[in-house]
Amino acid sequence: MQHDKVLILDFGSQYTQLIARRVRELNIYSEIHPFNKIPSNIDDYKAVILSGSPFSVRGNEALHPDLSKIRGKKPLLGVCYGAQYLAHFFGGNVAPSNTREYGRAHLSKINEHGLFFKGISNGSQVWMSHSDTIQILPENGVLLASTDAVENAAFKIKDETTYAIQFHPEVYHSKDGKKLLENFLVHIAHVTPDWTPASFVEETVDFLKKKIGDDKVVLGLSGGVDSTVAAVLLHKAIGENLYCVFVNNGLLRKNEFKSVLHQYEGMGLNVKGVDASRRFMEALSLQDDPETKRKIIGRVFIEVFDDEAHRIENVKWLAQGTIYPDVIESVSATGGPSATIKSHHNVGGLPDFMKLKIVEPLKTLFKDEVRRVGAALEIDADLLGRHPFPGPGLAIRILGDITEEKVRILQEVDAIFINGLKEANLYNKVWQAGAMLLPINSVGVMGDERTYEKCVALRAVESTDGMTADWVNLPYEFLQKTSNDIINQVKGVNRVVYDISSKPPATIEWE
Ligand code: XMP
């Protein structure tokens, strides 16, 4: 089944991905493409949205693609820069704003005759973020709404389904933003909102069956959400021909290898657990540089995975849990050619398994959509709600060199912290949490004895994508109990601190 698609042309705004997500929340499939790479199959898209931009339409460097195949031919919505674009290049005038227009504003003088503002009343809060303003509407422009500071806050072009808004409907602070997108897409552009997690599962399974046929596929499971959902989808499509490999690098959380492996088996997956901890620990011996540790773990993982892939006779495909943010081409802030983030095309020197054909069933989904698809596949909510955990695992949370004893101590500390968060109903309020083993000893007293033992730092952050993060204000009582439990139960630790640094300038991991 083909779903209606919406094209979002990206002019480099920090909010472009949010537009795509809000549209998808309406059960409408949307794709982001750079402004200068309009898809040749433009007829396959039912409507087009122009994003905001850090650029000014007045500057020499203004981004100015040829929209002749779109404008007047398809429903078109310009947002912020997109709106200024539709004004400036079509007979209107855009000038620098007299007053700063960032943040909250309220709509007034709403034109209630059309479908665009249906169900949205005067006073509705919108979010502004621009330094230019539209002074004169373009040819055939019809004013649709204003705010106190911006006369031309929304307009349309007479006899066209071309609309433009100065504010950002995609941010939550624009209270009726989603309604407005719905009005434009469903009521004006007649897009059918039928793209749901259940339909995604059905169609992807169908697609995978056709694409893969009777071939064998190998997939590396990590215990995380993406690889798990990818595995379950593939399993539904090709059953036992999916060979999953779950590697224990000896740097997982306490008991994680056993319990996650057990969980995977319970889900009916054809999974092989490979305990390579010793191999990793030997390779990491005496290494204390963070990047070297990462490289060693990456290299050993590839060796182990390659060995396993070779054991699967006649395997043809490598499945990966790649998601949409990894493949969106970003528009660079300088307006230069856009950069693709990931590439698997440099074949020389790659291990054999990387020369397999690649299948990436989740590459059109955002993280929250992967979770919803996982729920539609009836994957355990605990598994879907797991905090992100770095590939190198506890290696980048043990500062300095790694020993089995240090891994044991950190696993114990981490388990007390994470289980405590779960027991106190705090786990789901935190985006990521973990403990760091610091390379210092400090003095303490236990009973009448002086101790000289390890210090651990606890870290809990809130975030949406890990790019920026803030520390979580955990209740003092919780921190007090956790600290007590750790010092009483974990031999070798006599001091616990809580990390109160945001990212930036700090990072989430300490290495
Ligand atoms: P930072 O420390 O850069 O972390 O603020 C941001 C997010 O990325 C994770 N992270 C990693 N994940 N390999 C991974 O697979 C790595 O080397 C790595 N380093 C950091 C980190 O856990 C957080 O979610």
Active site residue 168: yes
The CB of 393 under 6 Å from ligand 1? The reply is no
Ligand 1 atom nearest to 434, measured from its CA: 22
Helix (H) / strand (E) containing 316: strand 315-319
Could you tell me how many residues make up the chain? 511
Cα separation, 349 vs 340, whole angstroms: 21
The CB of 224 under 6 Å from ligand 1? The reply is no
Mean of the per-residue pLDDT values for the chain? 93
Largest separation between any pair of C-alpha atoms in the chain: 87
| Closest to 49 (Cα-Cα) out of 188, 236, 232, 222 | 188
Taking the complete model, does pTM exceed 0.75, yes or no? yes
Active site residue 170: yes
Instruction: Find out whether 177 and 171 touch, Cβ atoms under 8 Å.
Output: yes
pLDDT of residue 174 exceeding 70, the answer is yes
The CB of 12 under 6 Å from ligand 1? The reply is no
Rounded to the nearest angstrom, the distance between the alpha carbon of 397 and the centre of ligand 1 is 11
Residue pLDDT, tens place only, 56-81: 999 888 899 999 999 999 999 999 99
- Of the candidates 80, 235, 308, 511, the residue annotated as catalytic is 80
50-54, 55-59, 85-89, 332-336: which has the minimum mean pLDDT? 332-336
Q: Reduce the DSSP state of residue 299 to 3 states and report it.
A: helix
The CB of 387 under 6 Å from ligand 1? The reply is no
Instruction: Find out whether 397 and 509 touch, Cβ atoms under 8 Å.
Output: yes
Residue 464's pLDDT band (boundaries 50, 70, 90)? confident
Task: Report the nearest-CA residue for atom 22 of ligand 1.
Answer: 390
DSSP state of 71: B
The CB of 294 under 6 Å from ligand 1? The reply is yes
Handedness of CA 98, 101, 106, 109 (dihedral sign): positive
* Secondary structure of 399-442 in HEC code, one letter for each residue: CCCCCHHHHHHHHHHHHHHHHHHHHCCCHHHCCEEEEEEEEEEE
Residue 113's pLDDT band (boundaries 50, 70, 90)? confident
Handedness of CA 334, 338, 339, 341 (dihedral sign): positive
Burial of 313 (0-12, 13-18, 19+ CB in 10 A): exposed
Mutate to test the pocket of ligand 1, among 507, 509, 510, 511 (most ligand atoms within 8 A of CB): 509
pLDDT of residue 331: 76
| Residues in Cβ contact with 328 at an 8 Å cutoff, skipping those fewer than 6 apart | 17, 32, 341
Cα separation, 194 vs 192, whole angstroms: 6
The two beta strands, 162-165 and 154-157, are antiparallel
Rounded to the nearest angstrom, the distance between the alpha carbon of 390 and the centre of ligand 1 is 5
pLDDT of residue 92: 97
177-186, 280-289, 348-357, 423-432: which has the minimum mean pLDDT? 348-357
Handedness of CA 305, 310, 313, 315 (dihedral sign): positive
Cα separation, 336 vs 331, whole angstroms: 8
Rounded to the nearest angstrom, the distance between the alpha carbon of 53 and the centre of ligand 1 is 28
Task: Report the nearest-CA residue for atom 19 of ligand 1.
Answer: 390
Active site residue 244: no
Ligand 1 atom nearest to 467, measured from its CA: 6
Instruction: Find out whether 153 and 116 touch, Cβ atoms under 8 Å.
Output: no
pLDDT of residue 334: 53
Residue pLDDT, tens place only, 329-367: 877 655 444 433 333 344 456 688 878 999 999 999 999
